[in-house]
Amino acid sequence: MTKPDSTSTKMAVEAAESAAAIQRQIERCGPLFSVLGSKLRDLNPSLVVTCARGSSDHAATYGKYLIETHLGLPVASVGPSVVSLYNTDLKVDGALFVAVSQSGRSPDLLRLAAAARKGGAYVVAFVNDETSPLAEAADLFIPLCAGPEISVAATKSYLTACFAFLSMVAEWKEDAALRHTASQAPAALSAAAELDWTPALLSLTDKTGLYIIGRGVGTGAIMEMALKCKETCRLHAEAFSAAEVIHGPLALVGPDFPVLAINQNDATAAATRAAIARCVDLGAPVFSSDDSVKGVIPLPSVPDLAPELAPLAAVQSFYMAIHTVSQRRGLNPDVPANLRKVTETV
């Protein structure tokens, strides 16, 4: 198998650093997650609120499914404009509030975090920039340890944010199996970075749109993939739950409308496979990390991964290919049109 080229763009170079970044987070932040787990067991919140935008919000979606499935707690994503524009006082006494950001500098996120703390929540910040005001505003700050990220398209900062949620849940629950899963993340992402999705995904070069489907703990991953298609390739991709796509959205699926599907070996696997099979039956080219469905175009995957790691590994492999699709479309994935690295919204 041909090794993906991780030197042709800053995006690819930085994505290839994800495993090392997660290892740094493990070594540096292990004690912080232990403290956080103990605090959350004492706090015993009945609600978790997340605050993020873009790729960071996709990481929060991954965290949402981990928290809801492993701890049984509802997780709500609150729109920053509720505070920054509508000037609403938040009633979140006793809740856990998790802010996720690369830069930690957007005014709306800062105002929402401040309002949550004023409203009685315990505020945790997962932030890559350790000098950021968001880090200073939190009750507990945990650095992502991704290191400098120059490409506008977030890669290793997304994966390290996801991993922060995995570590938090493992320590909060004091779950030996999840702790073991977390310890396997650097090796899993390192192996995923070596897998080559490029030959399959290059067929997207002349396409105008596609669906990206998954379910459950994979939902954040498909949202992140869809965003990267838009921002690096100017390719309109929509992320849909495998449960939702078989309703109205399925009307678009056919020979000229491709589908990219990921899956993980958990309670959602059989239903996701059924949705994939529906897309295949409609004649769509379906690229999938789950090759158990007849007729898919297989994407190589790291075998026997825990379901919590499979979506992260899929995103890692996707990152190592999508930058080449961008270049084939005559674009520079490091400098997407109309975008900049730090986006400050109100």
In a domain, 288, yes or no: yes
Q: Are residues 57 and 122 in the same domain?
A: yes
CATH number of domain containing 204: 3.40.50.10490
Instruction: State how many domains the chain has.
Output: 2
Instruction: Tell whether the model's pLDDT for residue 95 goes beyond 50.
Output: yes
Find the domain containing 287 and state its range.
195-329
Q: Where is the domain boundary, 141, 170, 191?
A: 191
Structure tokens at 19: 């495993």
Q: E strands, 178-303, where?
A: 209-214, 236-241, 259-261, 286-288, 297-298
Q: Are residues 40 and 124 in the same domain?
A: yes
Instruction: Tell me the average pLDDT across 212-236.
Output: 97
Do the strands 259-261 and 286-288 form a parallel or antiparallel pair, or are they unpaired? parallel
Q: Are residues 28 and 148 in the same domain?
A: yes
pLDDT in tens, 288-321: 999 999 999 999 999 999 999 999 999 999 999 9
In a domain, 336, yes or no: no
Instruction: Tell whether the model's pLDDT for residue 343 goes beyond 80.
Output: no
HEC profile of 174-198: CCHHHHHHHHCHHHHHHHHHCCCCH
Q: Are residues 203 and 167 in the same domain?
A: no
- What rounded mean pLDDT belongs to the chain? 94
Instruction: Tell me the average pLDDT across 104-108.
Output: 93
Degrees, nearest 5: CA angle 59-78-158: 15
Question: What percentage of the chain carries pLDDT values higher than 70?
Answer: 95
Q: Are residues 17 and 163 in the same domain?
A: yes
Q: Are residues 44 and 174 in the same domain?
A: yes
Give the DSSP per-residue string, 80-147.
THHHHTT-PPP--TT-EEEEEESSS--HHHHHHHHHHHHTTPEEEEEES-TT-HHHHHSSEEEE----
In a domain, 344, yes or no: no
Quick one: pLDDT at residue 340?
54
Instruction: Tell me the average pLDDT across 33-42.
Output: 98
Q: Where is the domain boundary, 165, 191, 217?
A: 191
Quick one: pLDDT at residue 13?
96
pLDDT class of 341 with cuts at 50, 70, 90: very low
pLDDT class of 337 with cuts at 50, 70, 90: confident
Q: Are residues 171 and 218 in the same domain?
A: no
Q: Are residues 110 and 220 in the same domain?
A: no
Quick one: pLDDT at residue 127?
97
pLDDT class of 10 with cuts at 50, 70, 90: very high
pLDDT in tens, 237-296: 999 999 999 888 999 999 999 999 999 999 999 999 999 999 999 999 999 999 999 999
Q: Are residues 240 and 170 in the same domain?
A: no
Q: Are residues 220 and 114 in the same domain?
A: no
Query: pTM, whole model, 2 decimals?
Result: 0.95
Q: Are residues 202 and 264 in the same domain?
A: yes
Q: Where is the domain boundary, 141, 160, 191?
A: 191
Q: Are residues 181 and 214 in the same domain?
A: no
